[in-house]
């Protein structure tokens, strides 16, 4: 055999060996399975709307879990996802900074020698926008509870819904079903307990929704949504897994002095100090009998038990309804947030529930970053694929933003 033939033989042998060493990767072809994703709409609260860093703005709207989910559903037939986008370049939240002035996005800035989230000035004109459109597909309303979705006149009570409501007397569900969806995401119920927790256990409008009322309302919502569409629903995370309630005491118990229903006592182990107490603690509150930390900045053991009992009941209701309806896929958001608290490695990056540095939660300690939204969207996709036999590709988490450092 001459040199030329030896060279050709070696080349063929090398090619065969390389071919034999190639991994056997199954091809992935997106399919819709048993669901019709042609007209996808999302219903929910601030998470669905894209609220992040303490405010609603176009940046967050374009990285909400609902929007990211819609992008992946486009691979299996979803034709569009129109949102009631903020027209302003600014943002607006619910924290009052001054008379007639609410906050905008929080930003990390140097304050008193430390890097801290600082609110920007919000654009109040966002509350007066009227961006109603029959093409809207995102019905996420910051602040909404399950009991609010069917409440006529809710647009008069909630400026975030006013922006895109068809009229002042409509309901969120009426406008949502008018879009004639074929597939729906529903993540509602967070605020039914969270509003009470954020108010430090304050009653009134922030009271925990009665569990029987929640069950009846949620059943009615599902009955209306599943009449002509399949639905993916998320359950309710516990406040124990949200940085807003864990950051100040993340390194252990500190016996702050607190005011509790007219009495002065020490904070007990296991009780929570809200993130909003940071300013008062920096001023010396909570460190002496003369300056106790007000009870509205603390969740005591009794309040925590009430919250836990309510969320457990809500999630039992949601699971029972989902288990008895083949048109529903259930997303266990409660378990996801517990896993995040332990830390996860996703696409080569480490994520956790740590405030600021964990990559999941935004600078308000409650809502998520763009990457947090992508993780949530992928969790929804896993549930949809499993329940309906679909093959929807996962979102690339690294394509989205996390906390921005100066």
Is residue 104 within 8 A of residue 117, CB to CB? The reply is no
Using alpha carbons only, give the angle 264, 267, 268 rounded to the nearest 5 degrees.
Answer: 125
The percentage of the chain sitting over the pLDDT mark of 90, rounded to a whole number, equals 82
pLDDT tens-digit series, residues 305-356: 999 999 999 999 999 999 999 999 999 999 999 988 788 888 888 899 899 9
pLDDT tens-digit series, residues 68-116: 999 999 999 999 999 999 999 999 999 999 999 999 999 999 877 778 8
Binned at pLDDT 50, 70 and 90, residue 22 comes out as: very low
Residue with tokens 């406008």: 175
Residue 19 predicted with pLDDT over 80: no
The percentage of the chain sitting over the pLDDT mark of 70, rounded to a whole number, equals 93
pLDDT mean over 236-258: 89
End-to-end CA distance of the chain: 69
Residue 18 predicted with pLDDT over 60: no
Taking all residues of the chain, what is their mean pLDDT, rounded to a whole number? 91
Q: Domain residues of the chain, as ranges?
A: 40-399
> What pLDDT shows up at residue 30?
96
Closest by Cα among 263, 368, 287 to 48: 368
User: How far apart (Å, rounded) are the C-alpha atoms in residues 366 and 118?
Assistant: 15
User: How far apart (Å, rounded) are the C-alpha atoms in residues 170 and 178?
Assistant: 11
Q: Is 25 exposed, middle or buried (0-12, 13-18, 19+ CB in 10 A)?
A: exposed
DSSP state of 375: H
Closest by Cα among 272, 263, 276 to 302: 272
pLDDT tens-digit series, residues 345-400: 888 888 998 999 999 999 999 999 999 999 999 999 999 999 999 999 999 999 99
Residue 6 predicted with pLDDT over 60: no
Strand, helix or coil for residue 275: helix
Residue 187 predicted with pLDDT over 90: yes
> What pLDDT shows up at residue 27?
67
In sequence order, the 6+-apart residues with CB closer than 8 A to the CB of 369 are 52, 63, 359, 360, 361, 362, 400, 401, 402, 403
For residues 356-383, one letter each, b for 16 or more C-beta atoms within 10 angstroms of the residue's C-beta and e for the rest, the string is bebbbbbbbbbbbbbbbbbbbbbbbbeb
pLDDT mean over 195-201: 94
Residue 138 predicted with pLDDT over 90: yes
Q: Minimum mean pLDDT among 47-51, 118-122, 248-252, 320-324: which range?
A: 248-252
Alpha helices in 141-210 (DSSP H): 154-157, 159-162, 172-178, 190-198
> What architecture is domain 40-399?
3-Layer(aba) Sandwich (3.40)
> What pLDDT shows up at residue 26?
53
């Amino acid at each position: 055999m001459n040199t030329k033939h030896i060279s050709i033989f070696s080349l063929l042998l090398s090619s065969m060996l390389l071919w034999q060493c190639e991994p056997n990767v199954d091809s992935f072809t997106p399919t819709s399975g048993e669901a019709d994703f042609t007209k996808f709409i999302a219903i929910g609260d601030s998470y669905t709307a894209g609220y992040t860093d303490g405010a609603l703005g176009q940046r967050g709207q374009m990285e909400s879990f609902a929007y990211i989910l819609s992008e992946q559903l486009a691979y299996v037939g979803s034709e569009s996802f129109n949102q009631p986008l903020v027209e302003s370049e600014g943002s607006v939240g619910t924290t009052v900074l001054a008379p007639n002035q609410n906050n905008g996005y929080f930003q990390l800035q140097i304050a008193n020698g430390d890097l801290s989230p600082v609110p920007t000035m919000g654009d109040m004109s966002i509350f007066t926008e009227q961006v109603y459109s029959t093409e809207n597909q995102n019905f996420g309303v910051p602040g909404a509870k399950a009991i609010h979705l069917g409440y006529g006149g809710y647009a008069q009570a909630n400026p975030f819904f006013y922006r895109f409501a068809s009229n002042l007397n409509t309901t969120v569900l009426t406008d949502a079903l008018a879009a004639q969806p074929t597939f729906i995401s529903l993540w509602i119920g967070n605020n039914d307990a969270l509003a009470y927790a954020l108010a430090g256990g304050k009653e009134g409008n922030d009271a925990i929704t009665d569990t029987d009322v929640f069950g009846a309302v949620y059943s009615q919502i599902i009955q209306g949504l599943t009449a002509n569409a399949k639905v993916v629903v998320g359950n309710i995370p516990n406040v124990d897994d949200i940085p807003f309630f864990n950051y100040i005491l993340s390194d252990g118990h500190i016996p702050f002095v607190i005011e509790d229903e007219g009495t002065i006592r020490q904070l007990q182990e296991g009780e929570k100090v809200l993130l909003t107490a940071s300013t008062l603690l920096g001023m010396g509150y909570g460190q002496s009998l003369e300056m106790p930390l007000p009870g509205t900045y603390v969740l005591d053991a009794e309040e925590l038990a009430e919250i836990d009992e309510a969320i457990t009941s809500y999630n039992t209701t949601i699971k029972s309804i989902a288990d008895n309806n083949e048109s529903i896929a259930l997303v266990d958001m409660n378990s996801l947030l517990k896993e995040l608290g332990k830390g996860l490695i996703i696409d080569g990056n480490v994520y956790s529930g740590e405030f600021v540095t964990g990559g999941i939660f935004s600078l308000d300690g409650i809502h998520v970053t763009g990457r947090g939204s992508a993780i949530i969207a992928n969790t929804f996709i896993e549930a949809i694929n499993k329940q309906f036999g679909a093959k929807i590709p996962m979102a690339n988490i690294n394509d989205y933003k996390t906390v921005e450092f100066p």
